[in-house]
Amino acid sequence: MSRFLEALRIQRWDDHRYYHHSRINQSLHLVSALSFLFAYVMVFKDPAIAALVGWLVAMTSRQIGHFFFEPREYDVVNQATHEYKEEIKVGYNLRRKAVLLTIWALSPVPLLLDPTFFGIFEPHAGIAEFVRHVAQIWLIIGAGGLLFRTLQLCLIKDLQTGLVWAAKILTDPFHDIKLYHKAPLYLLRGELIDPGIAAHAAGADIEEDAEAILPAS
């Protein structure tokens, strides 16, 4: 278990230092995290509502931060190019995210062409039923995206890497609130880039820095 938690801590630290420099991105991740927590509760009461909030609010706000506000130039803090970071990304890099988001965006089209969605649903009687059917499809896409990448990592890396990544994704909302709850305040003060990442990199050993900003194992 200690090895698992250590691997989880490292994945979280790498994700933060490589992909969350922008205070706008961090603030959007806070919105995303709060929305995901609402979806986590609603999935037990109304899975369709959970899927709608998860995709339309939580996922869109999260990915807008990555696609439009995160710096793409050479990362002098981590001594890495954007291309290098994309290559070593454990989970969904921007290219994989674009594929997943395209699948999500186009998924209602077959339902428009075939209201039964290949015999899975009873034909919708109105807009409300159509939306609920779309939400159910989105719920499957979300779960499928998580399961697919987990299994892929287990095959191309190892079992622990895949399971650690899945655990990270599922617990990211809690961790993001802990890490980015002050990001909107910093943003209001005019701070667009998190100076803490550079400060940690320039200070002590990275492992010690990670201990300072990540939950203890």
Q: What secondary structure does DSSP assign to 158-175, as a single string?
A: -HHHHHHHHHHHHHHHHH
Average the pLDDT over 184-212 and give the result: 74
pLDDT recorded at residue 12: 96
- Residue 122 burial (10 A CB sphere; 0-12, 13-18, 19+): exposed
Average the pLDDT over 132-137 and give the result: 97
- Quickly state the pLDDT bin for 157 (edges 50, 70, 90): very high
- Quickly state the pLDDT bin for 210 (edges 50, 70, 90): very low
Which sign, positive or negative, has the C-alpha torsion 82, 87, 91, 95? Answer: positive
- Is 0.85 surpassed by the pTM of this model? yes
The answer, yes or no, to whether residue 154 has pLDDT greater than 90, is: yes
Average the pLDDT over 179-190 and give the result: 97
CA distance 148 to 66: 21
Average pLDDT, the chain: 92
The answer, yes or no, to whether residue 172 has pLDDT greater than 50, is: yes
Average the pLDDT over 84-106 and give the result: 96
Average the pLDDT over 33-44 and give the result: 98
- Quickly state the pLDDT bin for 202 (edges 50, 70, 90): low
CA distance 38 to 162: 26
CA distance 75 to 95: 19
Give how far Cα 150 sits from Cα of 58, 90, 155, 215, Å. Answer: 20, 10, 9, 23
The answer, yes or no, to whether residue 211 has pLDDT greater than 60, is: no
